[in-house]
Amino acid sequence: MSGTLKRKGIDDANDDDPIIESPFIDPNDPMAAFLPKSFGKQAVAKSAPQHDKLKRVDNPASPPKALPQGDNDGDNKPSNKLSNKNSDSDSDSDDSDSDEEEEFPITHELIIKDHTKSVTSISLDPSGMRMITSSHDSLLKLYDFTAMASNHLHSFKTIEPREGHLLHHSEFSINGENILVIPSCAQAKVFDRDGYEVVEFVKGDQYLRDMNNTKGHVSEVLSGTWHPTDRNLLVTCSSDSTVRIWDVNQKRQQKEVIVVKSRTAKGGRTRVMCVKWDDPSQGGKKLLAAGSQDGGLTLWGGDGPFSRPMATVEEAHDREVGISGVAFSRDGNLVISRGLDGTVKSWDTRKFKKPIMTRSDLPATSQNTSISFSPDSSTVLTSDSLGNLHFLSPATLRSEKTLQITPGIPVISSLWHPRLNQIFTTSTDSTIKILYSPKSSTRGALTILSNPLKKRHIDDDPSLTTDIATGMNADAIYLPNAVLPSKTKSLAKASNLANAYKPFKPHATPFAKSTPDEEHIRKNVALSGMRDEDPREALLRYAEKAEKDPMFTGVWRETQPVTIYSNEREEEEEEEEEEQDRGKRQRRY
């Protein structure tokens, strides 16, 4: 009987999954189109055609230029000209390509261009539903993937945290409730996930020499990050040579201040460019690392005390360029540092003296160039100024995969979200790219593509709006069969409508004229005749009356002493006589 369930054969006797037989009908039978082939509602994937349009075409990556190799203490050094084992398409087989597609979600890409200048950082909340970006256009943009569509790749809110100040960094907290924003000033800010300001930390006294006595940063903050387990704690680093730990509930003073002392920089101060906390929830060792412009790399215990560092490596990277990023592995035993000298180095926190491996052919130009681990710490992500995204092996720092994201345009930040299994990149051409795989990725870009297209109103088209001066109102309703007014009447209406938007002009008064009428002022303005009168003479008119009949000082009439005026002439004559007598006496002697 057609449509019945049949068990599998003897070979699959242990498997009880049923198999559905299709009805036995001739393919040319008209009823074949109306009979279902399976149970349940069959929904056609709307995003399938869009995935085909967004599929990446892997172009050969730009070959990295060999940079001059500085003094290094590493024992094992890969060659400066490392070959990309996946760049040659002729040597790769189909099996290796399919394995890489499953390992790295890089088969498709979605491009978002909502900023006007370089995008310095990107961050997602733990659930992967919201995204924030910061840029050199001083704007912080918040995105919600559920409210976006393939024809509406825009943020739902735009904030300017500090007017006229570019943004260095922005990051979601561990619970996704707050956002840390680092503008190019001495005060970091915290916003909630909806874009409302929660706290602005205090600025310290810039005239104090000892940074331990200041309550906040005294110069530009360069970077910061949240504590991996405590949602109220965060850390910031600044160009005032300090690292400060803050509590969101206490904005008037930092919780801890760490002064980074440099032996190579002038005055013992240096710009602390990056800071990173180790995650103890993933098996880390509760460490705090910071990289400075003098090339120094410093470690502290994450819980303190912070009076002395646990370990320090001076000139871990070249001077005057500094370290742009630091990352910890899940177990906390490995630290990867990214230098603006074009090098990437791996360090062992247990023997923090010499780098394990060094890679020196990755040029970088932006101080916000990031480096990070994949969710399972099996791969290191970093970028270069040639527009390439590198997947490095933590053990050898060799490129497992190199992608050309923006040819010839530097890539600044990169992030691999563990829950979405998608890679987010930012570049100096203000573009944000989401790399994903329809097979292994979830939500994120897939949510955007599966959402229905946004319907646009006719008023959103600027070509359909008309200027008021032409005689047409943008809010007017035009009937196709109505009799249109004459051209003169329409222009008159347009002029009246234009005049309606002008500000109110006050009525003309005599005071608004250059020479007002004196007679009008004398009659209508009270006490206007007093302007030509001498006030001293007016008061002396009542002098005799005040002496004869005092109204306010009559009580002291009997006890009031007689006023005695000094005679200046008599005093001068007496002084002259005394001077003459003194002169005569001196002549006698």
CB count within 10 Å of CB 523 equals 9
Q: Which of 69-78, 357-366, 525-534 has the lowest mean pLDDT?
A: 69-78
pLDDT at 293: 93
Confidence of residue 557 (pLDDT cuts 50, 70, 90): confident
What's the average model confidence in pLDDT over 349-371? 93
Sheet with 130-135, side-by-side order of all strands: 119-124, 130-135, 140-144, 157-159
Statement: residue 92 has pLDDT above 50: no
Quick: pLDDT tens for 157-168.
Answer: 999 999 999 999
Share of the chain above pLDDT 70, in %: 73
Contact (CB, 8 A) for 176 and 195: no
pLDDT at 16: 47
Confidence of residue 52 (pLDDT cuts 50, 70, 90): confident
Cis amide linkage into residue 305, ω under 30° from 0: yes
Residue tagged 């880390």 (tokens) = 284
Quick: pLDDT tens for 172-211.
Answer: 999 999 999 999 999 999 999 999 999 999 999 999 989 9
Strand partners for 244 = 236, 257
Using the Cα atoms of residue 568, residue 571, residue 577 and residue 582 in order, give the sign of their dihedral.
Answer: negative
Q: What Å distances lie between residue 398 and 25, 97, 388, CA to CA? A: 59, 18, 14
Statement: residue 454 has pLDDT above 60: yes
Domains assigned to the chain: 93-453 (2.130.10.10)
- State the chain's mean pLDDT as an integer: 80
Confidence of residue 354 (pLDDT cuts 50, 70, 90): very high
Quick: pLDDT tens for 508-525.
Answer: 665 555 556 677 777 777
Identity of the highest mean pLDDT range in 11-25, 101-115, 453-467: 101-115
0.85 cut: is pTM over it? no
What's the average model confidence in pLDDT over 135-147? 95
